[in-house]
A and B are shown apart, each in its own frame.
Chain A
Amino acid sequence: MSFLYKSTFSGKIKVGVTGMSNIAVSERQKKEYAQTVKQVKPKPRLWRNVFWAFVTGGLICLAGQVILGFFRTQGLEVNAAGAATSATLVFLAAFLTGIGIYDEISRFGGAGGIVPITGFANSMVSPAMEYRSEGMVFGVGAKLFTIAGPVLVWGIVTAWVAGVLYYFFR
């Protein structure tokens, strides 16, 4: 009967020993099982996902380009037109999040929907919507950055490290 579990407490019981396995399964059993799981688990549909991420992200960038072109024809210079385009994309993504469409886009397009600035807008608006039921301070206020926060923190840290390296090695 290879498949029935015994407690690790059987035999001599040691108390207060740190690092003792708290799992009643041997390492060999765990390894064997991990192997079985690997065989049964479906492979991620990599190429299909990459293709649709490319299409989705590409379409969002194309939309950005069209909006940029529009602002240029309205007489804005390049930098101002760029800022206006970002603001428009953020607004559109926030709006689509609000009416429950943006999560479907990312579900389908994966990174294609998450990486552009629209994905950032989605990661800010979705917690704002979700946690408003806990109030404006401890809900929205405290949890607004649950998704975007780590990105900002480590983005800023990375920029800081890059800046220091640039200062010494340029």
Chain B
Amino acid sequence: MAAPKKNGMQTVWFQNPPVIISTASVVGPREGEGPLAKTFDHVINDPYYGENTWEKAEQRMMNDAVKKALQKASLQEKDIDFMLAGDLLDQIMVSNIAARTAAMPYLGLYGACSTMYEGLALGAMLVDGGFADKVLVGASSHYNTAERQFRFPTEMGTQRPMTAQWTVTGAGVAILAREGTGPVITHATIGKAIDMGQSDAQDMGATMAPAAADTITRHFLDTARSPDYYDMVVTGDLGVYGKRLAELLIKKSGYDLSGRFTDCGILIYNKAHDVHAGGSGCGCSAVVTCGYLMGQLKSGSCKRFIGVGTGALLSPCSVQQGETIPGIGHAVVIEARG
């Protein structure tokens, strides 16, 4: 017998759509100067956040986002059944430490920059499956921690190509619940790890675009919906050129997204930031979703969107060994209820 809540090849639908009862976002100074500044809960004015390492700063941002999300929903740590979180650092240490502080039953996730959406999809499955009443989902990244792990020391002088992206300093947290008020998650489409033979770690948009395009196309096929059913299709961090590529690929499969397609990495910075192709990192889709997109649903200017967390699945080792870079995209449908 086919799985009763699975639709088509890669999509699941939720019988009692889990409610996003609370979200919180904490961002760094640069993000706090960007066009979405007002949609974030807290802007830190120093990338060290008063700590002595970048890693500790990122952990503190994650902790603050968790606390803020709990506070907004008037909940306590013990009310959360499971915490799902991830980040970009080796062995997802930021999330591990945040989980130690939060002391909730914890499942660590790694989906590179797609982690927030991987978490939302899994969290929604836990809630609708009846395994949890409340699930906390979080993801974070920090420009300096990512830079020193994946690229160069932060004070090292280099020139980045125009396709390079800037890792967002930020942490986003959402709490999903069986009941409550807020937008709901109705579907999730789990992406495949797709590798089109791209190996340029300075052009992650091109490595992730096929995965995002495949997941979005698959979502339309699985649900028999067309793009105009949604007010927005928002990818995580394809950047300017990756978004253009994804748009081309989706068009090739017969779907036209024009006018409703945008990308968190493009939204978060303005031109003066000189970040080249846009923002990236787990924090990018996490804070834009928890801040800006939730605000759009609340204000009514958007009724329903597909969010697609996009990730480039690489490590410094895999790149140096000449391995090409698989991309991944997980889609979640979030709609305002009411």
Known contacts A133-B52, A147-B152, A147-B153, A30 near B244 by CB under 8 Å: no
- B163 & A5 in contact (Cβ 8 Å cutoff): no
Please give, as numbers and ranges, the residues of chain B lying within 8 Å of A49 by CB-CB distance: 159
B214 near A5: Cβ-Cβ < 8 Å: yes
Task: Mark out the residues of chain B between 186 and 217 whose CB falls within 8 Å of any chain A CB in the assembled complex.
Answer: 192, 194-198, 203, 206, 210, 213-214, 217
Q: Which residues of B contact A102 (CB under 8 A)?
A: 155, 157
Tell me the complex Cα distance, A4–B189, Å.
14
B153 A126 Cβ-Cβ under 8 A: yes
**Stretch in contact with the other chain, from B80-88, B165-173, B246-254:** B246-254
Instruction: Give every chain A residue within 8 A of B248 (Cβ-Cβ).
Output: 36, 40
Which residue of chain B lies nearest to A99 when distances are taken between CB atoms in the complex? B155
Chain A 128-164, CB-CB to B under 8 Å as 1, else 0, gives 0111010000000000001100000000000000000
User: Is B158 a contact of A42 with CB atoms below 8 Å?
Assistant: no
CB nearest neighbor in A for B194: A5
Task: Kindly report which residue of chain B lies nearest to residue A133, judged by CB atoms.
Answer: B53
Q: Is B49 an interface residue (CB 8 A)?
A: no
Interface flag for A13 (CB, 8 Å): no
Task: Confirm or deny: B162 has a beta carbon within 8 angstroms of a beta carbon on chain A.
Answer: yes
Report how far A127 CA is from B244 CA in the complex, Å.
36
Known: A3-B252, A123-B156, A126-B152. A44 touches B162 (CB 8 A): yes
How many of B's residues come within 8 Å of A, CB to CB? 37
Flag whether A165 is at the interface (Cβ < 8 A).
no
CB-contacts of B235-280 with A (<8 A): 241, 244-245, 248-249, 252-253
| Contact, CB under 8 Å: A103 / B157 | yes
Contact at B252–A2, with CB atoms within 8 Å?
yes
Are B148 and A130 interface neighbours, CB within 8 A? yes
* Chain A residues with CB under 8 A of B162: 42, 44-45
Give B218's nearest chain A residue, CB to CB.
Answer: A4
Given contacts A3-B214, A40-B245, contact A127 B156 (CB under 8 A): yes
| B residues in contact with A113, CB < 8 Å | 157
Bound state CA distance, A5 and B298, in angstroms?
37
Q: Which residues of B (141-160) have their CB < 8 Å from a CB of A?
A: 148, 152-160
Q: Considering only CB atoms, which chain A residue lies closest to B196 in the complex?
A: A33
Give bound CA distance, A33 to B218, whole Å.
19
Nearest chain A residue, comparing its CB with the CB of B276? A42
- Contact at B252–A100, with CB atoms within 8 Å? no
* Minimal Cβ-Cβ distance residue in A for B198: A37
Q: Judge whether B324 is part of the interface by a CB distance below 8 angstroms.
A: yes
Query: Which chain A residue has the least Cβ–Cβ distance from B147?
Result: A130
Q: How far does the alpha carbon of A147 sit from the alpha carbon of B154 in the complex, in Å?
A: 12
Q: Mark B221-244, 1 if CB is under 8 A from A, else 0.
A: 000000000000000000001001
Q: Which residue of B lies closest to A129 (CB)?
A: B155
Q: Are A103 and B194 in contact (CB under 8 A)?
A: no
* CB pair B158 A107 closer than 8 Å: yes
A127 vs B155: C-alpha distance when bound (angstroms) = 8
**Given A98, A114, A119, A130, which contacts B153 in the complex, CB threshold below 8 Å?**
A130
**Chain A residues near B300 (CB-CB < 8 A):** none
Interface centre among A29, A105, A126 (most CB of B within 10 A): A126
What would 9 more interface pairs be, CB under 8 Å, given A37-B203, A42-B241, A122-B157? Answer: A4-B253, A24-B195, A30-B196, A33-B196, A40-B206, A41-B241, A126-B155, A127-B153, A129-B155
Taking beta carbons and an 8 Å cutoff, which residues of A are in contact with B? 1-5, 23-25, 29-30, 33-34, 36-37, 40-42, 44-45, 49, 97-98, 100, 102-107, 110-111, 113-114, 119, 122-123, 125-127, 129-131, 133, 146-147
